[in-house]
């Protein structure tokens, strides 16, 4: 485990604890970014996943489940693409975290 992995673990813990202190605000951002894609994949009306009484529980839930993807994505990137430069590594990690968030958003639609 490299230094980047441990930094990502610390950042994930800060995101979870800080996100709960902010009453799910980071989760709302994750949900706003992933909800349109999840709605399109499931054929749901636009805005139906994060409206009304669903919005806050969804934000709290996303605040708790998305940050653990950061260390996982960093570890996978180190394992699969150890020679990647910082820009490529950042791109792979961002894609991994987004797909993780999208998977959990899709799980909420069933």
- pLDDT greater than 90 at residue 55: no
Which residues fall within 8 angstroms of residue 91, CB to CB, at 6 or more apart? Answer: none
pLDDT band for position 109 (50/70/90)?
A: confident
| Every domain of the chain and the residues it spans | 3-107
Other residues' Cβ atoms within 10 Å of the Cβ of residue 51: 12
Query: What is the per-residue pLDDT across 1-20, written as a single tens digit (0 to 9) for each?
Result: 788 899 999 999 999 999 99
Query: What is the per-residue pLDDT across 9-50, written as a single tens digit (0 to 9) for each?
Result: 999 999 999 999 998 899 999 989 999 999 999 998 998 888
pTM above 0.85, yes or no: no
């Amino acid at each position: 485990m490299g230094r980047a992995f441990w930094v990502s673990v610390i950042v994930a813990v800060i995101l979870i604890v800080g996100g709960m202190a902010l009453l799910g605000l980071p989760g709302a951002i994750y949900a706003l970014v992933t909800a349109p894609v999840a709605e399109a994949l499931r054929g749901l009306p636009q805005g139906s996943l994060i409206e009304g009484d669903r919005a806050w529980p969804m934000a709290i839930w996303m605040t708790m489940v998305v940050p653990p993807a950061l260390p996982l994505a960093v570890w996978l990137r180190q394992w699969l693409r150890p020679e990647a430069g910082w820009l490529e590594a950042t791109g792979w990690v961002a894609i991994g975290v987004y797909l993780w968030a999208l998977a959990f958003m899709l799980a909420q639609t069933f």
